[in-house]
Amino acid sequence: MKKHELSRASEDSGKSIRARPHRVKRLNRMRALTLIATIVLGQANSAPPGPPDRLRILSANPVSYCQAPLSAFDGQIRKRPLAMQNEGTSNAFVTCAFTRQVSDPRNFIFLVQMFASNAGTSPQDLACTLVTGTGEAISPDNIFIPKTVTIMPGVSRALLQWDQGDLAAITTVTEYSLSCNLPPSTALNDSHIYFFEPVLN
C-alpha cells in the first residue's frame, strides 16, 4: 500500500476510533483474519496430502523487544507497560527485534503488524523500516522494506502492516527487525507476527 493510501486509511481510522474504538479493532482483526483465510485456502488447494500446517501468531507489547538504539534517545522514550512513547520535543529512533521459533525451512512469516498511537494535538508521520537478515557483513537475506503512516491526533490504533506482497522478496528463513522514527507524542503499541508451523507426521 502506498504512503498516500496509508495516510488516507489512517485518517479514516482516526474518525472511527474517536467515535467507536471497538469497531476499528474489529475491522483490523477482520482484515488479518481475511488474509489468513485466503492463505489457508491456497495451501489446502496446493499442498500434498498430510497434516495441515499450524497457524502461529506471536504478539507482544514493545517493552519486551524494543529499545532506543542510542543513549541520546533514552531520555525521550518513556517505556510504559503498554507502549513506548516519545515524550520529547524531537524525533527519536526505536529498534525492535522479533523472536520466534524457527523449526522448519518452510516456516516463513507472511504478515507483520505494528500498531501505533498519537497522543498529541497534530498529525504525525511515523516511519518504520522492516529489516530482515542477520548481522553478517555480507548477507543475501538483508532486505529493507520501509513504510510510513500518518497518525491523526488522538488515534490509538494506527496500523503499519507488511503483508505477503511486501514480503515476497524474502526467500529464506531469517530474522525480522524494525527500525522506527517516532515523532513527538507518538508511541509504538502491540505487534503481531503471523506464520505457519509445519506439523510433523
What pLDDT, on a 0 to 100 scale, did the predictor assign at position 139?
66
**Total number of domains in the chain:** 1
Structural domain harbouring 136 = 3-197
What pLDDT, on a 0 to 100 scale, did the predictor assign at position 52?
60
**Cα–Cα nearest to 191, from 91, 94, 71, 47:** 94
- pLDDT category, 21, cuts 50, 70, 90? very low
HEC letters along 46-111: HCCCCCCCEEEEEEECHHHCEECCCHHHHCCEEECCCCEEECCCCCEEEEEECCCCCCCCCCCEEE
Give the Cα separation of 197 and 200 in Å (integer). 9
Q: What is the CATH number of the domain that holds 167?
A: 2.60.120.260
- pLDDT category, 127, cuts 50, 70, 90? very high
- Return the C-alpha cell found at 143: 532486505
For residue 113, what are the contacts with CB-CB under 8 A and spacing of at least 6? 28, 32, 159, 160, 161, 191, 192, 193, 194
Q: What is the pTM of this model?
A: 0.71
pLDDT digits (tens, 9 = 90+) for 112-121: 999 999 999 9
